[in-house]
Each structure stands twice: as structure tokens, then as C-alpha cells.
Amino acid sequence: MGSMGFADWFLLVVIIIALIGVALYFLNKKAYQKMDEQNEMIEQNKMLQTAYIIDKKRDRISNIDSMPKAVLTQMPKWGKFIKMNFVRAKIGPQIVTLMADKTVYNALPVKKTVKIEMSGMYIVKMIGMKSAEEMKAIEKAKKQKAKEEKKAAKKAAKEKK
């Protein structure tokens, strides 16, 4: 019963790492199954709405005043500390707070009326939404145009002097 050698410690570390890897694999598999079930439910319950987007905010769910208590109680404990994308919108006569995916959140214009697909309180898609690549290309073009206007303004100022 002497002290453990290097080979023993190395073997112990390898076994622990393998056990952690196997545990993570099965947790990941379970999470993907849960995600697939949720996506199926979202697809079954989504409906088309016209909404006027009042405001967009990225915040914790506990900081949102207009969230129903039922949503707060159903939220897991760790979910209360994560920042999410919230959208205040007027749908018909009601002003509601909705949650949105990051891509949808970035594409939604503020103070405009848009057609959205929603499932419960979750905005699934905006009709006419551009893809991420198109959004990047548009932003790049805007920056390039602003640069050119700045150069032209500097050139005009030099010529005046």
C-alpha cells in the first residue's frame, strides 16, 4: 500500500475525463431530443399576426414588468439569470411582451408594422426577413456609403479653403 505512481495518477485522470465525456454526450443527446420536441410544438402552434413593434430590449426575464406570473413560475431557475431578447408589440388592441430568437430580434424594425409568425409568446419568424448574409451585406454597403460621403465632405471642405 505505497504511494501511487505517475502511471496510476495518469490512468485515474484518463478514466475521470472519459466518464465526464460520456456524461456530456448523453446530456447533449437528451437536450437535442427536448429541443426537437419543442420545435415540433412551435411548428404546430404557430400563427401569422400583424404587429406594430413598439420597443426591443435585451434583458433578464425578472426585470420585465409586463411578464405574466405564469411565465415567471414556469421558467427554470437558471433561466431567470440569462439575458433574452424581448419585444414589446401591439397586436390588435393589446400591447404584449414577446420573446424572439436572436436573428428575428435583429431583423425586427422598431416603430414599424410587420407580419410575424408567432407561437404563444415566441416570435418564430418575420415575414420578409432577410438572411444573416443579406443583413451583413446591407450593413457593409451602408458603412461604405457613409465612408464615401465623409471623404466627399472632406474633399469639398479642402476645396473651399
> Any idea what the CATH number is for the domain that residue 93 is in?
2.40.50.660
| 3 domain-assigned | yes
86 and 18 in a single domain? The answer is: no
Query: Do residue 11 and residue 34 come from a single domain?
Result: yes
Residue 117 within a domain: yes
What lies within 8 Å, CB to CB, of 81 at 6+ separation is 60
**Judgement on whether residues 14 and 73 belong to the same structural domain of the protein:** no
Number of domains observed in the structure of the chain: 2
Whether residues 51 and 122 fall in one domain: yes
Same domain, 80 and 29: no
All 3 cell numbers of residue 52? 406594430
Instruction: Tell me: do 127 and 52 sit in the same domain.
Output: yes
Segment (H or E) for 48: strand 47-60
Q: What is the pLDDT along the chain (161 residues), one digit of tens a residue?
A: 457 788 889 999 999 999 999 999 999 999 999 999 988 888 888 888 899 999 998 888 877 777 777 777 888 888 778 888 999 999 989 888 898 988 888 888 889 898 998 888 888 888 877 666 777 888 889 999 999 998 888 888 888 76
Quote the domain boundaries for residue 68: 46-134
The answer to whether 51 and 90 have CB atoms below 8 angstroms apart is yes
Are 60 and 86 in the same domain? yes
- Rounded CA-CA distance 13/7 in Å is 10
pTM exceeds 0.95 for this model: no
Whether residues 76 and 94 fall in one domain: yes
Count the Cβ atoms, other than its own, within 10 Å of residue 104.
Answer: 21
Q: Say whether both 18 and 84 belong to one domain.
A: no
From start to end of the chain, where are the E strands? 47-60, 83-91, 94-100, 113-119, 122-126
Q: Does residue 126 lie in a domain region?
A: yes
Same domain, 60 and 117: yes
